[in-house]
């Protein structure tokens, strides 16, 4: 099943910054990445709203 939601650019970037991957990068590398990502997203979504697409799948195994 797929679904999507529209979120403000700032919320999308804040969600990205919360990923645990950034814990190992350090503050400077994280700040650089987030700034570059914000610039790219602002170009891709000039109205300031990011469309996030998700796919949900369920698998059941029987023993």
- β-pair type (2-8, 49-55): antiparallel
> Beta-carbon neighbour count of residue 15 at 10 Å?
12
Q: Which pLDDT score is estimated for 45?
A: 95
Give the model confidence (pLDDT) of 1-59 as tens digits.
999 999 999 999 999 888 877 778 888 988 999 999 999 999 999 999 999 999 999 99
Q: Which residues pair with 50 in a beta bridge?
A: 7
**Which of these, 1, 20, 14, lies nearest to 50 by C-alpha position?**
14
For tokens 């709203």, the residue is 49
pTM for the whole structure: 0.74
Q: Which pLDDT score is estimated for 23?
A: 76
């Amino acid at each position: 099943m797929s679904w999507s939601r529209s979120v403000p650019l700032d919320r999308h970037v804040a969600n990205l910054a919360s990923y645990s991957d950034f814990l190992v990068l350090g503050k400077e590398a994280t700040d650089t990445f987030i700034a570059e990502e914000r610039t790219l997203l602002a170009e891709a979504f000039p109205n300031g709203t990011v469309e996030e697409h998700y796919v949900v799948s369920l698998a059941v195994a029987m023993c």
